[in-house]
Chains A and B, each alone.
Chain A
Amino acid sequence: MLRDITLGQYYQSDSVIHKLDPRVKLITTMVFIISLFVVDNFIGYLIAALFLTMVIKLSKVPFKFMVKGMKSIMILLMITVVFNLFLTPGEPLISVWKLTITKEGLRTAVLMAVRLTFLIIGSSVMTLTTTPNNLTDGLEKLMKPLKVLHVPVHEVAMMMSIALRFIPILLEETDKIMKAQIARGADFESGNLIKKAKSLVPLLVPLFISAFRRANDLAMAMEARCYRGGDQRTKMKPLQYKKRDVLAYTTVAAYLVVCIVVGRILPGMFSA
């Protein structure tokens, strides 16, 4: 159950999307997220959906892997939908007791749900098709100008990649500790929220201890392999833009233009 979070999990495959430069994928994801907030009509979302479907098809990652990531934000999604549905003022559609669903509310709620779903799936595509190391390489390279401002870019990138590498290991460990404690009569399921939270304390303590021990071991292993910061390091897979990356950038630029035109300029023209 804990292993269902796909965010930060790499899906091995040999597609065009996998081969793209991580910088392209990072920027594309950012553009995609921006585009979701630029458009606010259904045609715009249709274009976004088409773009997303195309990318998913190209990535050869089974769709169910992306949906898995959705489960973790389901509650957030629900809250957003419910609030938008009932609290947006406007023309009443259905009225039950004190709650009124307005036409505008329904519209915003649906758009908001679609927006959030696309956002999660969109970023899942990036993390599923890019190895975390690749991703942090991309981030490191994109952020490199910040080094002038004494931002420890390499260190942050290294920390991120380690954190990502240990997510599945620590999840497995959590699962193991939970099972061990359930076997000894611990109860994680029943009771109210406070009781449930309290029952997590005996789970977190061993988990933290183990995480620190692992961190200690890993630091030693890294030093034993001559790790001494980013200065003299070379790269096994240096980032170089290829033809397909240029093509991808062009496609993304075209997509953004279409989104802006359809989402902002066209409706304005019609209403004017």
Chain B
Amino acid sequence: MGIINASKLVFEYIRRDEEGNVEGITRAVDEVDLDVKQGQFIAILGHNGSGKSTLAKHINAILVPTEGTIWVDGKDTKDEDKIWDIRQEAGMVFQNPDNQIIGQVVEEDVGFGPENLGVPTEEIWQRVEESLKAVGMYEFRKHSPNKLSGGQKQRVSIAGVIAMHPKCIILDEPTAMLDPNGRKDVIRAVRALNDVEGITVVLITHYMEEIIHADKVFVMDKGHVEMEGTPREIFSQVDKLKSLRLDVPQVTLLAHELKQGGLDIPEGILTTEELVKALERLK
């Protein structure tokens, strides 16, 4: 069994009127099966309301499934006794950097997680230093988070999660509120964590450019997993992605159009270099 394992996961949001009567039920996550191996880089794609954030909150035991089960490192999230172990092992980074930074100084915020875990003081300092270096924010350790850019704040949030020494880190649209440069920095930091430290990454996003390096991609729509596979497998189905209201990277789209126009190039081209090579081969 992998680090994250979900079986027939269902989650329902129940809307109630003022008297507490059930007004309606929305199935945000519907019979999702998931199997993530230690060390993988997983991307979950989907447009707004596809249930991807709800799914993410299950991995961290913030939400508990209505039906089905999810195991994180072999622990059932329904088990109240294991909840803190699960939250330590599966760290979570949220969308809005302002709403997840607790400390008034960068290093204090990174130390918040280890403090909660009861880590001894000297080790907290060691962890804070390591984590800030891992995301390239060490020189900002004495700064106030309010004076950092969005991308920098988000990297501090990531450092705050790494300092808890998780096995797996879930990023819920970490780049949605950032400018392109901040986005690049955050994704670079996340990839480094995955490559160097071997931390399992679950990246939830709707930016296609961010997922081309993933090991496996899940595409969600209306609570279901609609597509599943490597980025190349996913992107070779341009028309299906479009029907799910998702954009395709421009290079992939161009290659797709060229192919439909009659050129003999492979499907699922992900980078400019690949397209150039494929075109050169045609000559």
Contacts and interface: CB of A to CB of B under 8 A. Distances in A.
B48 interface: no
Contacts of B143: 12
Contact of B124 (A10, A214, A234): A234
B117 A226 contact: yes
Q: How large is the interface on A (under 10, 10 to 19, 20 to 34, 35 or more residues)?
A: 20 to 34
B50 to A, nearest CB: 20
Interface residues of B, number: 40
Interface stretch (A26-34, A82-90, A159-167): A159-167
Contacts of B146: 168-169
Contacts of A131: 104-105, 108
Contacts of A184: none
Given A234-B124, A236-B128, A133 B116 contact: no
Interface in A196-234: 214, 217-218, 220-228, 232-234
Given A164-B104, A217-B99, A238 B121 contact: yes
B60 interface: yes
Contacts of A165: 101-104
Given A226-B164, A233-B116, A236-B111, A10 B121 contact: no
B142 interface: yes
B161 to A, nearest CB: 7
B164 A225 contact: yes
A132 B101 CA distance: 14
Contacts of B88: 226
A234 B119 contact: yes
Contacts of B102: 161-162, 165, 218, 221-222
Most chain A beta carbons < 10 A, residue from B108, B124, B142: B108
A162 B104 CA distance: 9
B114 interface: yes
A225 B113 contact: yes
Interface in B95-128: 96, 98-105, 107-108, 111-121, 124-125, 128
Nearest to A173: B98
Given A234-B121, A236-B121, A221 B104 contact: no
B84 interface: yes
B99 A226 contact: no
A235 interface: yes
A224 to B, nearest CB: 4
A133 B91 contact: no
B62 interface: yes
B183 interface: no
A266 B144 CA distance: 47
Nearest to B88: A226
Contacts of A225: 87, 91, 112-113, 116, 160-161, 164
Nearest to B60: A224
A230 to B, nearest CB: 10
A243 interface: no
A12 B105 CA distance: 10
Contacts of B98: 169, 214
A221 B84 contact: no
Given A225-B161, A227-B116, 16 more contacts: A10-B144, A12-B143, A132-B104, A165-B101, A168-B146, A217-B96, A218-B102, A221-B99, A222-B112, A224-B87, A226-B113, A232-B118, A233-B116, A235-B121, A236-B111, A236-B128
Q: Which 6 A-B pairs have the closest CB atoms?
A: A236-B111, A221-B100, A217-B99, A226-B116, A224-B92, A225-B113
